[in-house]
Amino acid sequence: MPIATINGIPLNYQVKGSGDLVVLVMGTGSPGRVWDLHQVPALVKAGYRVATFDNRGIAPSGESLGGMTIDDLVADTAGLIELLGAPAHVVGTSMGARVAQELTLARPELVRKAVFLAGHARMDRFQMTLTEGERQLYDSGVELPPKYQAAVTAVMNLSPASLADENAARDWLDVFEFSGGKMSPGVRAQLGMDREFDRRAAYRQITRQCLAVGFADDRMIPAYLSREVAAAIPGARYEEIPDAGHYGYLERPEVVNKVLLDFLAS
């Protein structure tokens, strides 16, 4: 993957396909290559040029160990779009959805259409408490046993429908156990960003076509928060994916991809 210097930091990115540009923005703690499992192939097949990248905090992009803000992440995404040729369709999930929302508000000239998976204009008390707990866990130096960490990750990010399927549950738990481990300092920097915000009033100024997608069984960003984003943005659409948790784009990729592609083509 090439590395560009954007906003004074290295940004690791890749581009596949040809056609109108789609930029995919990943959530907290995950590299951009996660999109390669399902969304990139579907978008390339549909005739799009697709860019993925590692947000600051995820090596080999700059880890910004001194801290970062949402504005930093928005500026990074804007810089990449300018490098690759604006405007672009922008799709984000979780933290990446928030980046996409703020980018669409601040730099509308860079955005054709925007899709927010597990988007949110604010966090409720549970999310703020969970994030603070994650910061405290990292700072304490305590490491959870791999199997327990895998179980917690599964419960927080998957639908009960996946966990009730013996084969699916086994596969997911194996993935989480072997891909887990100690949080990196860069991810800790991502977790250090402000969580006490409410952007519902600000999002009334967004002028681009937007789609907010909620995952019905999402414990990390409950679907009602994604519905609030659509309600705040004039003319925005809302879709809710059943039997899907926070990783709905991985759990139910065919459904998510259809919703995404139908919106971009409309």
| Same domain for 207 and 104 | yes
Question: What's the confidence (pLDDT) of residue 179?
Answer: 86
CATH number, domain containing residue 246: 3.40.50.1820
Establish if 98 belongs to a structural domain.
yes
Q: Render pLDDT for 115-164 as a digit per residue (tens, 0 to 9).
A: 999 999 999 999 999 999 999 999 999 989 999 999 999 999 999 999 99
Nearest of 168, 180, 151, 183 to residue 244 by alpha carbon: 168
Number of domains comprising the chain: 2
| Same domain for 110 and 222 | yes
Establish if 24 belongs to a structural domain.
yes
Give the structural domain span for 148.
126-185
Work out the average pLDDT over 171-195.
91
With a pLDDT cut of 70, the percent of the chain lying above it is: 100
Which of 160, 185, 210 is at the close of a domain?
185
Which residues are the active-site residues? 94, 218, 246
| Same domain for 149 and 67 | no
| Same domain for 34 and 56 | yes
Question: What's the confidence (pLDDT) of residue 110?
Answer: 98
d(CA 255, CA 249): 8
SS3 39: helix
Strand partners, 15: 51
The answer to pTM > 0.85 is: yes
Establish if 190 belongs to a structural domain.
no
| Same domain for 219 and 178 | no
| Same domain for 24 and 62 | yes
Establish if 31 belongs to a structural domain.
yes
Establish if 78 belongs to a structural domain.
yes
Work out the average pLDDT over 220-243.
98
Q: Which helix (H) or strand (E) holds 79?
A: helix 70-84
Residues belonging to the chain: 266
| Same domain for 212 and 138 | no
Is there a contact between 228 and 198 (Cβ–Cβ < 8 Å)? Answer: no
Q: Render pLDDT for 47-77 as a digit per residue (tens, 0 to 9).
A: 999 999 999 999 999 999 999 999 999 999 9
Q: Render pLDDT for 110-121 as a digit per residue (tens, 0 to 9).
A: 999 999 999 999
Q: Which helix (H) or strand (E) holds 17?
A: none
Which of 135, 157, 185 is at the close of a domain?
185
Establish if 67 belongs to a structural domain.
yes
| Same domain for 91 and 210 | yes
Is there a contact between 102 and 74 (Cβ–Cβ < 8 Å)? Answer: yes
| Same domain for 162 and 52 | no
| Same domain for 251 and 177 | no
Establish if 192 belongs to a structural domain.
no
| Same domain for 136 and 71 | no
| Same domain for 41 and 8 | yes
Q: Tokens 């405290």 correspond to what residue?
A: 136
Is there a contact between 249 and 158 (Cβ–Cβ < 8 Å)? Answer: no
Establish if 191 belongs to a structural domain.
no
